[in-house]
Structure 1
């Protein structure tokens, strides 16, 4: 899945010379958490979060200080430089950027211009779609030897049963690197017949452990 498929293209922005109070109003009025700061060429030169604004705001007990502080330009509190991504980057790569840099938002740039934005919430929504948990389904986890060709072999079982597959994921089997786990979500609330078919084909099903399953 590409960034352009999940990014928001309507992005609210400010310029570095805008006052901090303008950021507060934009954040509150639109219920957003991040504002890209752009120059006159739509190039992202900084970003401001709701936390930046809170940290910069003076005590509510000091009216004089508050007025003076909130008139300061946004460039005094914005984060710069900014990590950005391209519309044709893979969503999976963006996920690693969020994790490694501990950020919750990335602007999307194309030809040195801001064209979109992706937030933590967008990434979570995309993960739900990729894993198939947004549709009624059952999850089956199959332990297989870690060697080429195992996925199509396991998929043959599902093909014979003609079940509708929502998603397929593969991850390491931590106790033993010689094995891996294939996670398949199928659109049925009764996975028992498919599980028995898998076991009959010689595969070890780790999940679910259901009453009535043969050992």
Structure 2
């Protein structure tokens, strides 16, 4: 076993990072991380280096979007009703949702959009379609983008989406940044 394995376990615990989160950041399974830390699996040197690099980036203050993001992302369609949006937001305790149509980002809908529709339409607001109230799509960043850049975007937008290739892999809100800081 590499002496670095003990260092990985120590750093992970010091940073308050779960095995599951480390596994997500490195791109492996949580059981693999557990077996590595328990000395029951001898990983390739490249994997050990990748694990150390991820932990050192977090420890060194350069935190990537992938560390803070929530995944999987919940989407709504432009044809969904505001009642559906309100139910999702209430059930999942979220304040904004990206709007997707045919696997393409077309907008974003927030609690404020829902409340505005209720003010304007009263009881009939529940049948309004998302397309009638949605705003522009939330900004997108790569998973490797720094949380500093994401935080600046969050000063102007309710959420930031994390996109890898063509796929939305995560969402970050102000609440996520605050939660990360309090870990």
Common fold: TM-score over 0.5? yes
> Greater helix percent: which structure?
2
Q: Extract unaligned runs of 5+ from structure 1.
A: 130-215
Of 86, 92, 101, which residue of structure 1 is paired with 2:148?
A: 92
1:31 and 2:85 matched? no
* Alpha-carbon distance between aligned partners in 2 of 1:107 and 1:6, rounded to the nearest angstrom: 11
2:171 pairs with 1:117: yes
1:158-178 deviations in Å (ceiling 9; x for gaps):
xxxxxxxxxxxxxxxxxxxxx
Equivalent in the alignment of 2:15: none
1:54 corresponding residue in structure 2: 115
Q: Is the 8 A contact 2:138 2:159 kept in 1?
A: no
In the aligned structure 2, how far is the partner of 1:46 from the partner of 1:28? Answer: 20
| Secondary structure of 1:57's aligned partner | helix
Structure 1 CA distance for aligned equivalents of residues 144 and 101 of structure 2? 23
- In 2, Cα distance between the equivalents of 1:82 and 1:6? 16
Question: Which structure is higher in RCO with an 8 Å CA cutoff and minimum separation 6?
Answer: 2
Question: Aligned in 2, Cα 1:81/1:121: closer, same or farther, shift over 3 Å?
Answer: closer
Structure 1 residue ranges (4+ consecutive) displaced by more than 2 angstroms after TM superposition: 125-129
Q: Is the 8 A contact 2:109 2:135 kept in 1?
A: yes
Q: What is the aligned partner in structure 2 of residue 14 from structure 1? A: 76
Which is worse superposed, 18-27 or 108-117? 108-117
Answer with 1 or 2: which has the greater Rg.
1
> How far 1:35 sits from its partner (Å)?
0.9
Contact preservation (8 Å) 2:69, 2:172? yes
Q: Is the 8 A contact 1:58 1:66 kept in 2?
A: no
Once residues 177 and 158 of structure 2 are traced to their aligned partners in structure 1, the CA distance between those partners, rounded to angstroms, is 9
Query: Residue 38 of structure 1: SS of its match in structure 2?
Result: strand
Q: Which runs of 5+ in 2 are unaligned?
A: 1-62
Counterpart CA distance in 1 for 2:70 and 2:94 is 12
2:8 aligned residue: none
- Preserved contact between residue 98 and residue 138 of structure 2 (Cα < 8 Å): no
Q: CA RMSD in A?
A: 1.9
Q: How many residues align?
A: 121
